């Protein structure tokens, strides 16, 4: 097996919502593997500029674009700009997403619809415009960031679970339709990771921290960098005959029913 299977030199990778957190970790991994990375943000130009500066400081070739991935006109315009200004998009990572933690019986319909639009509809919109070039070139890699909630339910995240469950099936249908064009569409399902967002609950004695550590066979929260290998694999020639799959990077949570609280 050639080591070149995992090289991304000369490739352009678009990663949505990669100004922080898991998206930034995956984008960094793709960049370190040789890809030119294009990252998007939506919250503010300053946040996007700060992220781009951080990537450049790490020695990566990066470009940033500010637009709303749920706005079809903006997506179309910016995909055209990226392919004109940076190059053909070889790799797409649909990472942008939101979560609203509200019990279903108390959730406003507008909030439910917003989660579905960002987490499920936007991957369809972005992929729709990126895949046209991939089809023309008869090559491409699409990675949809799914979740353990693509498989499991949990209290208060019904909208998110519905979207991520739908994204799993969208991934399979993209693979079904586009595999004949030498396009591989797969997903990554992250488990629970140590990020700035989870920092307040990642302390010994916190009920959720103890639950996650106890529920995960590895016994720890994931490091965001643990996602880089899966992203590189699915973006590279190493996965040329892998299609319609979701790779769960979860420390083994989905492999087990768990253990009693008093079991070592």
Residue (of 131, 138, 38, 29) closest to 85 by Cα position: 38
Which residues, including other chains, have CB under 8 Å from residue 85's CB and lie 6 or more apart? 63
Spacing of C-alpha 181 from chain mean position: 23
Which tokens go with 196? 């700035």
Per 3-state DSSP, what percentage of the chain is helix, strand, and coil (rounded to 5)?
50, 15, 35
* Cβ atoms of residues 186 and 245 within 8 Å: yes
Active-site pick, 55, 65, 129, 160:
160
What distance in Å separates the CA atoms of residue 20 and residue 198, rounded to the nearest whole number?
A: 13
- Annotated catalytic, 160? yes
Residue 59, classified by CB atoms within 10 Å of its CB into exposed (0-12), middle (13-18) or buried (19+), is: exposed
What is the longest distance spanned by two Cα atoms in the chain? 59
Which residues, including other chains, have CB under 8 Å from residue 172's CB and lie 6 or more apart? 244
What distance in Å separates the CA atoms of residue 200 and residue 209, rounded to the nearest whole number?
A: 10
Give the three-class secondary structure for 246.
Answer: strand
Q: Hey, which residues are catalytic here?
A: 160
């Amino acid at each position: 097996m050639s080591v070149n299977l995992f090289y991304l030199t000369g490739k352009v990778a678009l990663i949505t919502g990669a100004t922080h957190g898991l998206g930034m970790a995956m984008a960094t991994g793709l960049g370190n593997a040789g890809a030119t990375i294009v990252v998007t943000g939506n919250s503010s130009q300053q946040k996007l500029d700060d992220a781009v500066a951080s990537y450049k400081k790490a020695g990566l070739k990066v470009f940033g674009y500010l637009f709303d991935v749920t706005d079809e006109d903006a997506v179309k315009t910016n995909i055209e700009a990226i392919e004109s200004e940076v190059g053909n998009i070889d790799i797409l990572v649909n990472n942008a997403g939101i979560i609203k933690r509200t019990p279903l019986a108390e959730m406003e319909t507008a909030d439910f619809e917003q989660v579905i639009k960002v987490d499920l509809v936007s991957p369809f919109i972005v992929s729709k415009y990126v895949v046209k070039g991939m089809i023309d070139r008869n090559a491409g890699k699409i990675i949809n960031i799914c979740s353990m909630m693509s498989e499991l339910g949990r209290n208060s995240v019904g909208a998110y679970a519905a979207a991520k469950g739908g994204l799993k099936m969208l991934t399979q249908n993209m693979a079904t339709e586009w595999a004949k064009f030498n396009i591989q569409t797969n997903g990554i399902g992250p488990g629970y990771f140590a990020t700035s967002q989870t920092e307040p609950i990642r302390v010994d004695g916190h009920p959720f921290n103890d639950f996650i550590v106890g529920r995960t066979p590895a016994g720890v929260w994931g490091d965001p960098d643990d996602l880089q290998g899966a992203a590189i694999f699915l973006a590279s020639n190493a996965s040329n005959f892998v299609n319609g799959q979701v790779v769960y990077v979860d420390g083994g949570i989905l492999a087990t029913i768990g253990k009693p609280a008093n079991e070592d």
